[in-house]
Amino acid sequence: MRQIKNAIAALTLLVVLSAFTDFNAHLENGYKIGDVVSDFKLMNVDGKMVSLSKYKEAKGFIVVFTCNTCPYARMYEERIIALNNKYDAKGYPVIAIMPNNPTIKKGDSFEAMKERAKSKGFTFPYLIDKDQEVYPQFGATKTPHVYVLQKTKKGNVVEYIGAIDDNYNDASAVSNKYVEDAVNALLEGKEVQQKETKAIGCSIK
Amino acid sequence: MRLYYLAVLFLFFLSCNNQKKNVVTPKELMSVNSTVSEKDSVLELEVYTFDEFEKFLNKKDGKVHVINFWATWCAPCIKELPYFEELNKKYKDKNVEVLLVSLDFPHLYESKLKPFIINKKIKSKVIALDDPDMNSWIPKVGTAWSGSIPATVIYKNNDKKFYEGSFTFSELETELKQFLN
């Protein structure tokens, strides 16, 4: 009898707790500045599997959660290509990851990703987060959402989280290139000044 | 250029005096200047920078303000929009004001946003927020806001709550009721 009472009490507590779960709780999860990132193994549009550990020469990474369908992501495509063209040779390649579920967003299917990568001439891997396991680890909530990682003895450490720059609408009107500033600082052995920024994006589906 | 002023003048008369509406048909207007359509004269869209918009987040008028950030390109936003409309219908006479803040791209106001508002017969007030320096204003809306939409603020005087994510109608109504007393 007592066991049943205890079980009921525990169950009640669980129900009450789950009812009061913070609406924004999902935003608290994911990597913070200074965290070490777990490696992943995701399929690229060329059919090959990509992991961070395969980049022996890299000093770090510009990980961009992006997709085919989000208008903000599309406005940043040229700038993502430019980032890779500028920083791949300096040891900070772009790794693009498509986090959406293609059954919800047909335009983000693996086939559509291949076509997009080809037509836009992506010079970097464009990976599909097929099981939707990697983006929650990072805590990415939207596209585009950028994580700059620095390779250290501890592993790949998060040094910047946020937007690419401060004007989605007009690349020529940008006054702060957040990602470039972060990578430049890391290349010079300095501390990143602006470690986190916010921007409107399409919620990951 | 003179033709353009002529067109604006015609529109002015059109909006001032409905009885004279048959004098200028939309077709004639189109022939004067193809960028001036009849729709423009029907729907005036208020567009704000964040500094101009901030007053909507800080009214101390004793009303409950429900402010939803959305865009026509955002599927989950479109899905929950009817719930905000329903809330507006049900509570507008009970000291509740619903404000729909569009984050659509300015170059799509005419082709996407205005037709959407007209076709869906949106009754709640819709305004547009156009301020590309997002990092400067997103935290002022909600410190917890990552920047994904939909996002919603509900407040009354100094009591404010921020929500990132989608609502069902009953979830939205439950949150609203916490501000009604």
ipTM: 0.80
Which tops the pLDDT comparison, A170 or A12?
A: A170
- Same domain? For A179 and A124 the reply is yes
- Same domain? For A99 and A112 the reply is yes
Residue linked to tokens 């100094």: B158
* Strand arrangement, sheet containing B151-156: B46-48, B125-129, B96-102, B64-70, B151-156, B159-164
Q: How far is B28 from A23, CA to CA, in rounded Å?
A: 54
Mean pLDDT of the A80-87 span: 98
Nearest to B130 by CA among B67, B70, B40, B50: B50
CB pairs under 8 A between A and B: 76
- Same domain? For A161 and A66 the reply is yes
Average pLDDT of chain A? 91
Residues of A in contact with B148 (CB under 8 A): 141-142, 200-204
Domain of residue A1: give its range.
1-30
In contact, A36 and A175? CB cutoff 8 Å? no
Query: Is B132 in contact with A202 (Cβ distance < 8 A)?
Result: no
Report the domain count for chain A: 2
- Same domain? For A109 and A49 the reply is yes
Q: How far is B73 from chain A (nearest CA, A)?
A: 8
Question: In the structure, what pLDDT confidence band is assigned to residue B19 with cuts at 50, 70 and 90?
Answer: very low
Q: How far is B147 from chain A (nearest CA, A)?
A: 4
pLDDT at A17 over 70: no
Mean pLDDT of the B86-111 span: 97
pLDDT tens-digit readout, A59-78: 999 999 999 999 999 999 99
Average pLDDT of chain B? 85
Residue linked to tokens 């929950």: B80
Count CB-CB contacts under 10 A for residue B159.
10
Q: How far is B54 from B11, CA to CA, in rounded Å?
A: 32
In contact, B69 and B149? CB cutoff 8 Å? yes
Q: Which of A16-25, A88-97, B35-44, B112-121 has the lowest mean pLDDT?
A: A16-25
Query: Is A168 in contact with B138 (Cβ distance < 8 A)?
Result: no
Which of B111, B135, B136, B166 has the most A C-beta neighbours within 10 Å, making it the best mutation to test the interface with A?
B135
* % chain A with pLDDT above 70: 86
- Same domain? For A96 and A4 the reply is no
Domains contained in chain B, CATH given: 2-35+44-180 (3.40.30.10)
- Same domain? For A22 and A59 the reply is no
Question: In the structure, what pLDDT confidence band is assigned to residue B181 with cuts at 50, 70 and 90?
Answer: confident
Query: Is B133 in contact with A71 (Cβ distance < 8 A)?
Result: no
- Same domain? For A189 and A161 the reply is yes
- Same domain? For A17 and A107 the reply is no
* Structure tokens, A147: 């994580």
In contact, B166 and B76? CB cutoff 8 Å? yes
Mean pLDDT of the A103-122 span: 97
- Ramachandran area for residue B62 (φ above 0: left; ψ -120 to 50: alpha; else beta): left
Query: Is B147 in contact with A199 (Cβ distance < 8 A)?
Result: yes
- Ramachandran area for residue A189 (φ above 0: left; ψ -120 to 50: alpha; else beta): left
Query: Is B149 in contact with A169 (Cβ distance < 8 A)?
Result: no
pLDDT at A141 over 50: yes
* % chain A with pLDDT above 90: 85
pLDDT at A107 over 60: yes
pLDDT tens-digit readout, A173-187: 999 999 999 999 999
Mean pLDDT of the B161-181 span: 96
Count CB-CB contacts under 10 A for residue B11.
18
Which of A138, A141, A198, A205 has the most B C-beta neighbours within 10 Å, making it the best mutation to test the interface with B?
A198
pLDDT tens-digit readout, B131-157: 999 999 999 999 999 999 999 999 999
Nearest to B74 by CA among A202, A8, A157, A155: A202
Question: In the structure, what pLDDT confidence band is assigned to residue A85 with cuts at 50, 70 and 90?
Answer: very high
Active site residues of B: 74, 77
- The pLDDT assigned to B43 comes to 85
* Structure tokens, B28: 């004639």
- Same domain? For A26 and A36 the reply is no
Residues belonging to chain B with any Cβ–Cβ distance to chain A shorter than 8 Å: 73-76, 103, 105-106, 132-136, 138-139, 144-150, 162-165
CATH number for the domain spanning A130: value is 3.40.30.10
- Same domain? For A15 and A42 the reply is no
- Same domain? For A72 and A25 the reply is no
Question: In the structure, what pLDDT confidence band is assigned to residue A29 with cuts at 50, 70 and 90?
Answer: confident
Query: Is B135 in contact with A201 (Cβ distance < 8 A)?
Result: no
- Same domain? For A26 and A124 the reply is no
pLDDT at B62 over 70: yes
pLDDT tens-digit readout, B65-75: 999 999 999 99
